[in-house]
């Protein structure tokens, strides 16, 4: 009797999910975004871009293409550890075990429960163009990045050194997140962002390392004597869509390689469009002739979040002072020889 009742409950739940999916699709087609007092579409709020869909399409979904149904998604969704290995590239080297003291424990990861869903279908990759869901790297892309880093900033010679904080990675120094926020890409945790709008500016705040981009509306990129950590962003509204164009990334990002590593010529164009009360459709296009054979585009939904928490970074962490103190000791020992 219990089995029969469970079967009936599952059947009813399945029909309800189908009905809700159909209703959501219909609402999306006819949806009109609310407007702010100054006429812009209302995108404000705290949004989550947490998803198990990876940037590039895994081999297991190559034959299926970009979209799969719920049944296929549920039958192919691997355990969390495998998802991390295949999608997020954190893998076993990040697990807390006897051979990796201080590694990340997967129990604290927050990567979402499902693949990203758009128009009732589950996405097998964030990348929608090229159609194979892969980044269209040039054959010499890695060598090009190394040469650009050496040319624009003599950083590789210092990378890995411990005689000063400049030799440590940007995330070690709490200056930049180790995940990507230009564009936004789901990482292992802290996948929340906030949009704040005014007539002249939009602020995009990400939970990870509280990075904040201030987007100037209907203005031009500035010719600054320096390049900002997150690039220089300008934006405009195209009907119900906020379009943000970012370029002039900081040279240190080229050397460090965080997120999607830019070159000096990278241009990132993002689009934010509210397609339902609880959905912002987010897309981005990356144009970089130094690294890629063509511009490429990704797309995913953002859903309402429960809120953002303070990212305390290395507060109370004595690792960096210890590293620098060790370097001072080695210098002193060398001087006394």
Report pLDDT for 15: 38
Q: Whose CA is closest to 61, among 118, 133, 130, 116?
A: 133
What are the structural domain ranges in the chain? Answer: 2-30, 35-51+131-337, 57-125
Report pLDDT for 148: 62
Alpha-carbon Rg for the chain in angstroms: 22
Residues 6+ apart with CB under 8 A from 59: none
- pLDDT, tens digit, for every residue of 168-219? 777 777 777 777 888 999 887 889 999 999 999 999 999 988 889 999 999 9
The residues that bridge with 201 in the sheet, in sequence order, are 216
- 255 Rama sector, left if φ>0, alpha if ψ -120 to 50, beta otherwise: alpha
Q: What burial letters (b/e) apply to 301-324, b meaning 16+ CB within 10 Å? A: bbbebeebeebebeeeeeeeeeeb
**Looking up tokens 């934006």, which residue turns up?**
235
Helix (H, G, I), strand (E, B) or coil at 290: coil
Length of the chain: 337
C-alpha dist (Å) from residue 130 to 56, 144, 290: 10, 22, 17
CATH topology of domain 35-51+131-337: Lipocalin (2.40.128)
Q: Whose CA is closest to 61, among 9, 11, 126?
A: 126
Report pLDDT for 133: 95
Cα atoms found within 13 Å of the Cα of residue 144, Cβ hemisphere only: 16
Report pLDDT for 224: 85
Q: What DSSP string runs through 83-140?
A: HIIIIIS--GGGS-BTTBTTPPPGGG----SS--EETTEEES-SEEESTT-S--B-TT
* Residue 42 to residue 44: CA distance in whole angstroms: 6
C-alpha dist (Å) from residue 317 to 101, 207, 314, 320: 15, 19, 5, 8
* Residue 267 to residue 209: CA distance in whole angstroms: 23
**Looking up tokens 């009907």, which residue turns up?**
239
Q: Which parts of the chain sit beneath pLDDT 70?
A: 1-29, 77-108, 145-161, 252-262, 315
Give the alpha-carbon dihedral of 150, 153, 156, 157, to 10 degrees. Answer: 100
Report pLDDT for 312: 79
Q: What burial letters (b/e) apply to 184-203, b meaning 16+ CB within 10 Å? A: bbbbbbbbbbbbebeeeebe
Report pLDDT for 159: 55
Cα-flanking dihedrals φ and ψ of residue 189, to 5°?
Answer: -165, 175
The residues that bridge with 45 in the sheet, in sequence order, are 195
For residue 73, say if its preceding peptide bond is cis, omega within 30 degrees of 0. Answer: no
Q: Whose CA is closest to 294, among 131, 65, 142?
A: 131
- Predicted TM-score (pTM) of this structure: 0.80
């Amino acid at each position: 009797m219990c089995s029969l009742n469970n079967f009936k409950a599952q059947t009813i739940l399945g029909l309800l999910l189908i009905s809700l999916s159909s209703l959501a699709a219909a609402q999306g087609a006819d949806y009109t975004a609310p407007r702010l007092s100054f006429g812009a579409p209302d995108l404000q709020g705290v949004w989550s871009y947490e998803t198990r869909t990876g940037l590039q399409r895994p081999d297991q979904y190559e034959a299926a293409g970009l979209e799969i149904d719920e049944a296929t998604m549920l039958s192919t969704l691997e355990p969390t550890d495998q998802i991390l290995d295949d999608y997020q590239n954190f893998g076993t080297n990040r697990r807390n075990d006897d051979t990796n003291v201080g590694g990340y424990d997967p129990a604290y990861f927050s990567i979402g429960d499902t693949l990203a869903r758009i128009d009732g279908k589950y996405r097998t990759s964030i990348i929608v163009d090229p159609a194979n869901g892969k980044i269209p790297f040039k054959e010499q892309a890695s060598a090009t990045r190394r040469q650009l880093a050496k040319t624009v900033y003599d950083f590789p010679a210092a990378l890995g050194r411990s005689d000063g904080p400049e030799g440590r990675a940007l995330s070690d120094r709490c200056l930049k997140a180790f995940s990507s926020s230009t564009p936004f890409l789901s990482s292992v945790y802290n996948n929340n962002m906030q949009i704040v709008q005014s007539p002249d500016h939009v602020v995009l705040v990400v939970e990870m390392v509280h990075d904040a981009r201030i987007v100037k509306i209907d203005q031009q990129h500035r010719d600054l004597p320096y390049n900002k950590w997150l690039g220089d962003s300008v934006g405009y509204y195209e009907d119900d869509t906020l379009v943000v164009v970012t370029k002039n990334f900081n040279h240190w990002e080229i050397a460090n390689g965080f997120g999607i590593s830019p070159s000096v010529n990278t241009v990132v164009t993002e689009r934010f469009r509210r397609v339902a009360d609880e959905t912002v459709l987010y897309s981005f296009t990356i144009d970089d002739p130094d690294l890629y054979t063509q511009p490429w585009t990704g797309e995913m939904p953002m859903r309402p979040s429960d809120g953002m928490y303070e990212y305390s970074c290395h507060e109370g962490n004595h690792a960096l002072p210890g590293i620098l103190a060790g370097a001072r000791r080695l210098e002193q020992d060398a001087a006394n020889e």
